[in-house]
Amino acid sequence: DVKVTQSSRYLVKRTGEKVFLECVQDMDHENMFWYRQDPGLGLRLIYFSYDVKMKEKGDIPEGYSVSREKKERFSLILESASTNQTSMYLCASSTAMRGFTEAFFGQGTRLTVV
């Protein structure tokens, strides 16, 4: 059974804290993604990584950074959390083989910044 696992289901953090969201996949996928999911806005891509140590900004990278030191792990970092970053965060992975690019999603992390 393929798996994308996010380290936390729920997180509550204070404004200004540095926050780490971790994601691990066991499918040897090249591509990994971080999205925000907000009602009425859908899934917005924050960052995309197509290989170890490689990253590309998505549509809303401001206030976020990422780290991919190993193929299976992709971390999202909120350098200084703010209340407008309260959201559901989804991690996903996919293979780079065109035509087989089904994305597999984690269960999501609901982050509340107070």
Partner 1 sequence: AQRVTQPEKLLSVFKGAPVELKCNYSYSGSPELFWYVQYSRQRLQLLLRHISRESIKGFTADLNKGETSFHLKKPFAQEEDSAMYYCALNNQGGKLIFGQGTELSVKP
Q: How far apart are CA 71 and CA 58, in angstroms?
A: 19
Instruction: Identify which range of 14-22, 66-74, 75-83, 94-102 contacts partner 1 by CB under 8 A.
Output: 94-102
Q: Is 108 in the site for partner 1 (CB under 8 A)?
A: yes
CB distance 37 to 103 below 8 Å:
no
Rounded-to-integer distance, Cα 114 and Cα 28, Å: 36
| Sheet arrangement for strand 19-25 | 4-6, 19-25, 73-78, 64-70
Residues 70 and 43: their CA atoms lie apart, in Å, by 25
Site for partner 1 in 22-61 (CB under 8 A): 30-31, 33, 35, 40-45, 48, 50, 56, 58-59
Residue 66 contacts partner 1 per CB under 8 A? no
Minimum CB–partner distance for residue 79 and partner 1 (Å): 23
Could you tell me how many residues of this chain bind partner 1 (CB under 8 A)?
28
Q: Contact with partner 1 (CB under 8 A): which of 70, 101, 112, 114?
A: 101
102 binds partner 1 (CB under 8 A): yes
Structure tokens at 12: 């509550």
Q: Is 62 in the site for partner 1 (CB under 8 A)?
A: no
Considering the rule CB under 8 A, would residue 96 count as an interface residue with partner 1?
A: yes
